[in-house]
Amino acid sequence: MKAALVALLLVMPAFAQNPLAGGSVVCGSGDVRFKVKLDYIEHAPAQPEPGKALVYFIHDAGTSAVLAYPTTKIAVDDAWVGADHSNSYFSVSVEPGEHHVCATLQSSLVDNRAEFAHFTAQAGKVYFYRTRLVMSREVELLELDLIDSDQGAYLISVYPLSVSHPTKQQRPTVRYSGTKASH
């Protein structure tokens, strides 16, 4: 019992520190809505451009019944880079170094949700992020997770490519001030 209490007291300060205090993470500049088309033609996995890393963003709906399913928008370093709809994926090239990712829903049917992550890209590497929307009567939760490269390669082999382009602005920018917990 004492050992557990000591461990808890040692870990508590780490949870109290907030690396975002005083700053904010933004989901893309301005308000952008995306129109998404799914390309069902089989595509060979892309390779990183010389001197860059490649990041795949995969939305895994967990079902093929996706009537009225919301679109998931992705921003990297405060710039919208694309969107997924239903079971789909897209990729972007990034420079080596630290990057901040935001995923948010583009929907009038579910509450506005946002998830955040950051990673340090290495030239020549491929990264896979998966988003999932978990919904029940009581909960709507958007998840954004870095996943194993084998799982990522499998998902992009079975899901269509998401081809998105921005349309007119309609909603305010989502901001996170560092006061709520996120992963």
More confident residue, 66 or 80: 80
Q: How much of the chain exceeds pLDDT 70, in percent?
A: 70
Lowest mean pLDDT, pick from 10-24, 46-60, 83-97, 155-169? 10-24
Residue 19 lies in a domain: no
Residue 16 lies in a domain: no
Enter the tokens of residue 90: 């897209």
Q: What average pLDDT does this structure show over 124-131? A: 98
Residue carrying the six token digits 């967990």: 62
Distance CA 97, CA 166 (A): 26
Lowest mean pLDDT, pick from 71-75, 108-112, 169-173? 169-173
Residue 177 lies in a domain: no
Q: Which residues pair with 99 in a beta bridge?
A: 119
Task: Sort strands 53-59 and 126-135 into parallel, antiparallel or unpaired.
Answer: parallel
Residue 86 lies in a domain: yes
Q: In the prediction, which pLDDT does 52 show?
A: 98
> Is 84 within 8 Å of 75 (Cβ atoms)?
no
Lowest mean pLDDT, pick from 31-40, 107-116, 158-167? 107-116
Q: In the prediction, which pLDDT does 68 show?
A: 67
pLDDT band at 19 (very low <50, low <70, confident <90, very high): very low
Question: Could you give the count of Cα atoms lying within 13 Å of 17 in the half-sphere of its Cβ?
Answer: 5
Residue 9 lies in a domain: no
Residue type at 3? Answer: A
Residue 15 lies in a domain: no
Q: Residue 29: is it exposed, middle or buried by C-beta count within 10 angstroms (0-12/13-18/19+)?
A: exposed
Residue 12 lies in a domain: no
Does the pLDDT at position 64 exceed 60? Answer: yes
More confident residue, 32 or 84: 84
Q: What average pLDDT does this structure show over 29-44? A: 88
Alpha-carbon torsion (154, 158, 163, 166), positive or negative: negative
Beta strands in 24-87 (DSSP E): 25-26, 33-39, 53-59, 71-76, 79-85
Domain hosting 33: range is: 25-170
More confident residue, 157 or 135: 157
Average pLDDT, rounded, for the chain: 80
Residue 105 lies in a domain: yes
Does the pLDDT at position 180 exceed 90? Answer: no
Number of domains in the chain: 1
